[in-house]
Structure 1
Amino acid sequence: MRILKMNRLIWLPLIVFAAAIGSAAQNAPEVFKVDPPSWWTRSSLNPVRLMIRGKNLSGARVQALTRGFRVVGIPKVNERGTYILVDVAIAPIAQPGAARLRITTANGIARTSFEILAPLGRNGRFQGFSPADVMYLIMIDRFSDGDPTNNDPPQSRGIYDRKNKFYYHGGDLQGVIDRLPYLNDLGVTAVWLTPWYDNYDHPNQIELKEDKPSTGFHGYNPQDFYAVEEHFGSFAKLRELVDAAHRSGIKIIQDEVVNHTGPYHPWVDDPPTPTWFNGTKANHLKNVFQTWVLHDPRPVEELKRETMEGWFLDFLPDLNQKDPEVARYLIQNTLWWIGTTGLDGIRMDTWQYVPNTFWHDWTSALKREFPKFTVVGEVKDGDVVHTSYFQGGRVRDGADSGLDSLLDFPLFYAVRHAFAEGHRLDEVPKTLAKDYLYNNAEILVTLLGGHDDGRFMSEKGATLAGLKLANAFVLTTRGVPQLYYGDEIAMTGADEPTTRGDFPGGFPGDKRNAFSPTGRTREEQDLFEYIRKLTRLHTQLEPLKSGALINLYSSDQQYAYARTTKDAAVVVAINNDNKPITIAFEVGGARLVNGTRLADRLGSSKDVRVENGKLNVALPSRSAAIFVPR
């Protein structure tokens, strides 16, 4: 009995000790992810704030174990022990490669790494865009399938189906690389790609389309802000695309989202801070889209709050940029994509729903690191008063947003009304007459179409002649002209997602290849050649890239204007009527002297000559002319 008792006394501490070890092992810290995963030396933003996601991180201490890499300050750990927010400084002497981090808690140690990068060379990168460019919007999934092996990736099986208009169709980054020669031939100098963020890996049961699950093929519902969607390729493939585009003389513009996340982002059920979102999945405001209150000096505060803090469609979690940690995360994320890939510009989604104070900090950080970089914001509204309110250069809502450019939706609607629907053409110069409301109208992005609107050729009354005229105007007026993929061959599609149709010939098994002249119909080829002629004139003629816009003539269905620089002038005349007409107008504003002879570079009108300070221009029905002095 004494031996048995002694054995019990010996074994009891061992059992307790083993249980303690087991408990500690069970509660040992684990690291799942580090954001950002890398950063470069000699950055204007230093230290960098890391978000380390894992479990059992309560009470964690973080140590940097690599020369030239150190932890700054005291880490912050959220209440659930699932996130660490910690600053790390990267010294100029730090060598590119893996930097080691050790995370210690009372229950154990976890190790992870962070990549230190050499900064990318500036030559040919971070260029920005300007009115000298011709921009081309591509929805990645619907443009060209260059790598069928990523159509149904192992981590996201079952959401590729070309017969399902709401599923992935196979377009990818390799497809864009493959079509760079086509874009060069068309005259494109900048490509805007819809978001390439990693979206959810399964059907979306929250957002039903036609009573069926949808997917994130469009890219606007990110579940990881630091990863490339596997259906599109990899980060390495993105780098390859940017470099290949730059070698081809084409800039790359990223489509970014900072207003919201996708509904399946890990943050939704486990936010890094209590105020990471405006509301929670169970308790939040629904966005009412009453955007007029945003520039109202006497706003209805409830409406303003619902518009700024409400969740899009009642299910897209609204990020709270007033939380300093959210703001820091988003600012770093933008800088990371630019700094690691060499991007040239950003198109920012849903600009008006994010506070101006955040935008001020965001654009300031961006311009410090990349001074030539350009940003265009989406403010989808047809009212110039409303749209112009959001351009940078003036203090609004307590801060100057610093925004360079806007998508010119007021002009977009006027152009659609006139050239597609047959309304009065003078709606166009009347819209342009409000340019004084913008801080800089010359940098606005002028467009005919986009992925959120029905295509031009699906408008009631649209014709190929009208589409030609609309392109002639967009490619000769002030601003940065933007084309939408497929409009150069008159693709149709009245609503989502048919407006996001597959480019014919971009996918295995397509019956024809419209990337090639032999795969286009006669009408498509005629339109393609017309637009290509316009893009080349835009590139060749300096007044179309940088000249002042001067109105010369306006009536119900005719419009003439000049683009002038110090040394040159171009005169554009448009007849939107179904019958030919001769118009006469003074050209003194274009500084064209008597006797100057001008030729139509589009070839639809005869040469004209300045007489008594005027031009008499004979225009065929539904035609445009671009007159250049001989």
Structure 2
Amino acid sequence: MNKFGFTRTQNDAFLKKIILFLFFMSLNVTAQIDKIEPPFWYAGMHNPDLQIMFYGKDIAKYQVTVSNETKIINVKRTENPNYIFVTIDTRKTAATDVFFSFSTNNKLQFTQKYSIKKRREQSAQRKSFDASDMMYLVMPDRFANGDKNNDSNNATVEKFNRELPGGRHGGDIQGIINNLDYIASLGATAIWSTPLCEDNDAAYSYHTYAQSDVYKIDPRYGTNEDYVRLSSEMHKKNLKLIMDYVTNHWGIEHWMMKDLPTKDWIHQFDNFTQTNHKRSTISDINASKIDTQICLDGWFVASMPDLNQSNTLVLNYLKQNAIWWIEYANLDGFRVDTYNYSDPKGIADWTKAITDEYPNFNIVGEIWMHSQAQMAYWQKDSKIGAIQNYNSHLPTVMDFTLLDAIATVFNEDDGSWDKGMVKAYDNFSNDFLYPNPNNLLVFAENHDTNRINEVYNSDFDKYKMTMALLATVRGIPQLYYGSEIGMRGDKNKGDADIRQDFPGGWEGDQNNAFTPEGRTEGQNQYFDFTAQLFNWRKTNEAVHFGKMTHYIPENNVYVYFRYTQNKTVMVLINNNKEAQNMKTNRFQENIKNYKSGKDILTNNDYDLSNEIAVASKSVLILELQ
């Protein structure tokens, strides 16, 4: 035994490793390799097969071996000699560095170190978002500029220009971190940020849905390390981080577009072909093949090439990229952009790969349809999808039919057969179509729609009814940044109008809406109501996972109950221009033995024995007692 406590056998083994390490390091490890993706991986994953892409000039001409008894399952070469895809079995690979050797004619030319890292404790069992959460949607470029030093970057084309409505305005990750307390004070428990990965388009790059590098945070937002820091700071405040993931397309400036691994990495036509956006063709038994193909394979726009998820290399790349971000940034969920524009089988496999790895992980997909049956088709374990032997494995879908109703309902003062609150009632009457109605994202607006305060012309009473509805029906409510201070935006004026800068997010802003003192009286009115409502929602299990019973609206008054065994909440929304007295005997099956209800907004008590007076254009949220 030597002075380090090693036996002779251990000492010899240790020296052998040192010699091998020095030998590998003495070689030109960077020769021929420009990119490696994933850049590193993690030990102990559910799926032990790891597909590593090596990219470099004529990289495919080399034979590849790997150290540390790691087994190579497959080496895939394509028609492009600058790529080689090496799949290894990590089942027996602990957290360590492995070395890939690249040889020609059995002569070693160079090596490449690859790191397998240790996972966080209980990583696979991470808790995700659910109906107990409220999700706050931010567009980072328009929220707050926390670091002026990254407003422009030499590596990206478009530079800072806040004077240009559709330009880069400088909001960044640090701006979100600086205002986490503000977001939490609203009652939000999760943040959905629009994409943060690099988008190197020459113009309109701020939305970041045309990504040019999906392993790299856009330098105008910060660094990969900044994103990890955002996640860490959020978790300290019990906030969940939801990444906006894009499976359907990349940007035309993505580095691979300059040198595709395979011709069918993306869908290509003889001439530019845009999707017809008719996603109903996917389940339509009468649809023509050409219409279905153009829907799925056509490009979203000319700057967004359509990825081919039926190509196994592409699909594995997307699976691993998503899982890498979950592990690396300790994410709590995904929102998936244009979910059902992707190849149906491919996107289902992608989703299942993630939920197999993380059984509690929630993913909400953008299913922008105008029929409950069409949306329900895409939710996990849908009986409608099962008719065609299809299961997307997608836990959560976005409730766009509720959005459609909200866009008009509170402007319809006199309820009729199909007007006013009946629209809300009819929406929820179709909940039987969904495998899990609690896993629906409910919202009044987002970054692609008119702002709700534009729709209702800054009518505060209509805003209150809208938010009260979102806070008390089934599902996961989502709030769009700035609505809580009355921000407006008209989609007809262009996307920039619905994506304006949050006041106070930039040095020199005359109005700082992040603080009570900086807000105007009107902004405080909106903020105080929103914060009161959603902070209350955090405390009441009945509106999280309770059952729902609703009653056919009368005189444009919608009454419904959310209840568990221990708690009952009664909601009365009077969308009539006149005050209404609601006799309570009709609601006895839910009122049961409760005697009174306390309005969570005013603290006023209401006697349930006879009738309840509801002011015009107002809402009561009663906790029954």
Aligned to 1:122: 122
Change (3 A) 1:420 1:240: farther
Aligned to 2:616: 621
Aligned to 1:408: 399
Aligned to 2:442: 446
Change (3 A) 1:540 1:219: same
Instruction: Give identity over the alignment, percent.
Output: 29
Specify every segment of 5 or more residues in structure 2 that has no aligned partner in the other structure, as ranges: 1-29, 414-418
Q: Deviation string for 1:186-227 (max 9, x for gaps)?
A: 111011111111111x51xxxxxxxxxx23211101111111
Aligned to 2:497: 498
Change (3 A) 1:93 1:145: same
1:175-574 matches, within 5 Å, as 175-200=175-200, 203=202, 214-279=203-268, 283-394=271-382, 395-396=385-386, 397-419=388-410, 424-459=420-455, 461-495=457-491, 496-574=495-573
The amino acid that maps onto 1:239 is V
Q: What is the deviation of 1:77?
A: 2.2
Higher deviation after alignment, 345-354 or 310-319:
310-319
Change (3 A) 1:92 1:108: closer
Q: What is the deviation of 1:322?
A: 0.8
Q: Deviation string for 1:436-459 (max 9, x for gaps)?
A: 111111210100110001111112
- Of 40, 47, 50, the match for 2:49: 47
Larger Rg, first or second structure (1 or 2) = 1
Change (3 A) 1:162 1:124: farther
Q: What is the deviation of 1:412?
A: 1.0
Separation in structure 1 between the aligned mates of residue 470 and residue 501 of structure 2, nearest angstrom: 24
Secondary structure of residue in 1 paired with 2:242: strand
1:591-606 matches, within 5 Å, as 591-593=591-593, 596-603=595-602
Q: Deviation string for 1:450-495 (max 9, x for gaps)?
A: 0001111112655121111100110011111110000100111112
1:48-67 matches, within 5 Å, as 48-65=50-67, 67=68
Q: What is the deviation of 1:38?
A: 1.0
Separation in structure 2 between the aligned mates of residue 408 and residue 59 of structure 1, nearest angstrom: 51
Change (3 A) 1:168 1:125: farther
Separation in structure 2 between the aligned mates of residue 557 and residue 462 of structure 1, nearest angstrom: 21
Q: Deviation string for 1:85-115 (max 9, x for gaps)?
A: 111233555344x433232346983443322
Kept after mapping to 2: 8 A contact 1:411/1:431? yes
Separation in structure 2 between the aligned mates of residue 142 and residue 121 of structure 1, nearest angstrom: 35
TM value normalised by structure 1:
0.88
Q: What is the deviation of 1:265?
A: 1.4
Q: What is the deviation of 1:156?
A: 2.1
Kept after mapping to 2: 8 A contact 1:572/1:625? yes
Aligned residues: 583
Higher deviation after alignment, 415-424 or 230-239:
415-424
Higher deviation after alignment, 358-367 or 442-451:
358-367
Q: What is the deviation of 1:267?
A: 2.5
The amino acid that maps onto 2:374 is H
Q: What is the deviation of 1:371?
A: 1.0
Change (3 A) 1:33 1:190: same
Q: Deviation string for 1:151-180 (max 9, x for gaps)?
A: 112222652111112221111111111111
Secondary structure of residue in 1 paired with 2:213: strand
TM value normalised by structure 2:
0.89
Aligned to 1:163: 163
Q: What is the deviation of 1:358?
A: 1.7
Separation in structure 2 between the aligned mates of residue 472 and residue 64 of structure 1, nearest angstrom: 59
RMSD value, Cα: 2.1
Q: What is the deviation of 1:29?
A: 6.1
Separation in structure 2 between the aligned mates of residue 220 and residue 592 of structure 1, nearest angstrom: 51
Kept after mapping to 2: 8 A contact 1:384/1:437? yes
Kept after mapping to 2: 8 A contact 1:58/1:105? no
Separation in structure 1 between the aligned mates of residue 114 and residue 510 of structure 2, nearest angstrom: 48
The answer to whether structure 1 residue 173 and structure 2 residue 161 are counterparts is no
Q: What is the deviation of 1:364?
A: 2.1
Separation in structure 2 between the aligned mates of residue 56 and residue 29 of structure 1, nearest angstrom: 11
Secondary structure of residue in 1 paired with 2:55: strand
Separation in structure 1 between the aligned mates of residue 466 and residue 599 of structure 2, nearest angstrom: 17
Change (3 A) 1:399 1:506: same
Secondary structure of residue in 2 paired with 1:598: strand
Separation in structure 2 between the aligned mates of residue 217 and residue 419 of structure 1, nearest angstrom: 33
Separation in structure 2 between the aligned mates of residue 268 and residue 278 of structure 1, nearest angstrom: 12
Separation in structure 1 between the aligned mates of residue 53 and residue 364 of structure 2, nearest angstrom: 28
Kept after mapping to 2: 8 A contact 1:135/1:190? yes
Kept after mapping to 2: 8 A contact 1:31/1:111? no
Change (3 A) 1:41 1:404: same
Q: Deviation string for 1:285-331 (max 9, x for gaps)?
A: 32111222222112121111110111112442111111111111111
Aligned to 2:88: 88
The amino acid that maps onto 2:250 is T
Secondary structure of residue in 2 paired with 1:376: strand
Q: What is the deviation of 1:509?
A: 1.9
Kept after mapping to 2: 8 A contact 1:562/1:571? yes
The amino acid that maps onto 1:252 is L
The amino acid that maps onto 2:390 is A
Kept after mapping to 2: 8 A contact 1:580/1:619? yes
Secondary structure of residue in 1 paired with 2:205: coil
Higher deviation after alignment, 117-126 or 495-504:
117-126
Change (3 A) 1:72 1:127: same
Higher deviation after alignment, 113-122 or 404-413:
113-122
The amino acid that maps onto 2:606 is V
Separation in structure 2 between the aligned mates of residue 448 and residue 104 of structure 1, nearest angstrom: 59
Separation in structure 1 between the aligned mates of residue 288 and residue 83 of structure 2, nearest angstrom: 37
The answer to whether structure 1 residue 608 and structure 2 residue 606 are counterparts is yes
Q: What is the deviation of 1:237?
A: 0.9
Separation in structure 2 between the aligned mates of residue 386 and residue 556 of structure 1, nearest angstrom: 31
Separation in structure 1 between the aligned mates of residue 331 and residue 510 of structure 2, nearest angstrom: 35
